[in-house]
Structure 1
């Protein structure tokens, strides 16, 4: 093959790697358009369709020989029509169609690798970004747009078998502005004292089906959550994606975010996560608490650094005011009860005091 031919083959391979994968193919005509528009080939290339087709056929016959190859790869070629034999198909496809590049990594495998970087708190942000960009370059350009729908707060996570399937369905629903239905599972212990997942039941003892309006996927505290609205209510809900069962896209437009209480002005994800540290639903409220300074690092780990107001500092203690989900703060305050005192609102203070009294009663032997 002469030098010009080798360059054309390399350019064809580069286009196939960037623009195609197992789910996204291109035709010979689209390939020529890209060569002309992005690689500055002369428009006479349209008259040399046979040359492009010959190179494509060469790649299909000798794909193990091209210079960019380090491990075997397969170019997905033309599909046969039902009832056509191979010779008829070759004659039919004077212009070849339906070509894609078989990348080394499947997209779900790349997502797993990227998630491992996103959830690693020890990798600096700049290095993490560079590594993720390198991983994204191992597949087609179509992968980045789907990844943008998942956000992270950089905490470790364990995956379950159907998680990727659930995420793909939820991403599709959000892209198409559709609702989603699913069943939701809880852990229970059966009659043999074995742990199992069972779907939540309705009042009739049947598996309960949830119909929700999905808005955002978030990875936090080692788990994926869906931020959504549960029909027919008007507040924000959160669901663990790994506990969703039978996720299905419903052919019905989702409720606009502006009609959901708390999302009228859109979703500020960083603020939302900081206010919902345990991903409980419900409204956020302004809470004041006083704690020992040696707890400050743990407090920042949970609540971040934005919108915190400190006051009344002494050598050992400090007061902070933060906007947070009240149920989440109630749980967090119990976790750090030896070091933290919630001072307002009064209703939350009384709830925590009642929790502590009940906890003490369990230890009265």
Structure 2
């Protein structure tokens, strides 16, 4: 780019220098600013830089100038994101199983661009955490984009759905036949991304792991299930699905020791009904999708929790306990 064109971009390069090289604990002098601008092929007088800084302040950039031993030092004060917020974003990207390792690195690099080079190094240290399991589906961004597009356009989608076999190969479900559903919502649950949709053939709400969806296409037909989703509560749906495993919905009564009160609130929310039984225990009545995952969750709570109703669910729990006893008694 010619030097003349660079001169026209002086204020933008000034902002770039301040954003990259300064923060609340790192400042830069006017001499250093002028030297940094020269690296971009820009020559400037101090007076014009002062004017550009005022224009940037008017625009909303928090440029702070502080005098120390007859020298002024400049830095960016408040940023759009604080360092703690950027660390939270980095941790979220790292923890997201629905993102591939490659996409995670790309996103984290972009997040680093929101900080100074000094703060970015702190974010980089955040990245070196224990190995986390990541999806292998590189099309996750495309999938999410297609689903949002379908929801915005009020149309159905078709796709193929797969599972992994013991050889770590993708095996298409329904022998590769297309699924056709009406997408209504996306949910992040159990460290995975899920599509919540209406299946008109089965007349029910279903969910699908987004990273296991292939070849998503928008259909011409309008979405169905509007009446079902008009009263749909995504939070309630996620609470009753354990690990997003489906099952028959039941109102289940659980007898709990008092020390499990926090566990119940964490799982079902502060509005969960807890009825005192005696000084040491209470009952909770919760609507859940009764699945093996739900039964395993109750078992994991140990002697502090016991399903007491309805009888059909108690019976199912007894069968599950018998199955486990047989499984672990076999040689």
Normalised TM-score (structure 1)? 0.54
2:238 aligned with 1:238: no
Match of 1:226 among 191, 195, 205: 195
CA drift of 1:303 comes to: 2.4
2:314 aligned with 1:324: no
CA drift of 1:240 comes to: 0.8
The aligned runs of 1:46-85 (5 Å cut-off) are 62-63=8-9, 66=12, 67-70=14-17
Match of 2:181 among 184, 188, 212: 212
Distance 2:318 2:92 in 1: 41
Distance 2:155 2:302 in 1: 43
Match of 2:171 among 198, 203, 208: 198
SS at match of 2:176: coil
| Aligned residue in 1 for 2:277 | 312
5+ residue gaps in structure 2?
21-85, 96-110, 115-131
Match of 2:307 among 330, 337, 342: 342
1:277–1:303 Cα contact (<8 Å) kept? no
CA drift of 1:60 comes to: 8.7
Distance 1:172 1:303 in 2: 32
1:290–1:340 Cα contact (<8 Å) kept? yes
> Relative to total residues, which structure has the larger helix share, 1 or 2?
2
2:160 aligned with 1:183: yes
Taking a change above 3 Å as real, the CA distance of residues 69 and 266 of structure 1, as seen in their structure-2 partners, is same
SS at match of 1:363: helix
| Aligned residue in 1 for 2:233 | 268
1:119–1:157 Cα contact (<8 Å) kept? no
5+ residue gaps in structure 1?
1-57, 72-110, 121-134, 139-155
2:273 aligned with 1:292: no
Taking a change above 3 Å as real, the CA distance of residues 237 and 337 of structure 1, as seen in their structure-2 partners, is farther
Residues paired across the two proteins, number? 226
Question: CA RMSD, aligned part only?
Answer: 3.4
1:238–1:280 Cα contact (<8 Å) kept? no
Taking a change above 3 Å as real, the CA distance of residues 338 and 209 of structure 1, as seen in their structure-2 partners, is farther
1:288–1:322 Cα contact (<8 Å) kept? yes
Taking a change above 3 Å as real, the CA distance of residues 196 and 296 of structure 1, as seen in their structure-2 partners, is farther
1:162–1:242 Cα contact (<8 Å) kept? yes
Match of 1:255 among 224, 238, 245: 224
Taking a change above 3 Å as real, the CA distance of residues 237 and 187 of structure 1, as seen in their structure-2 partners, is same
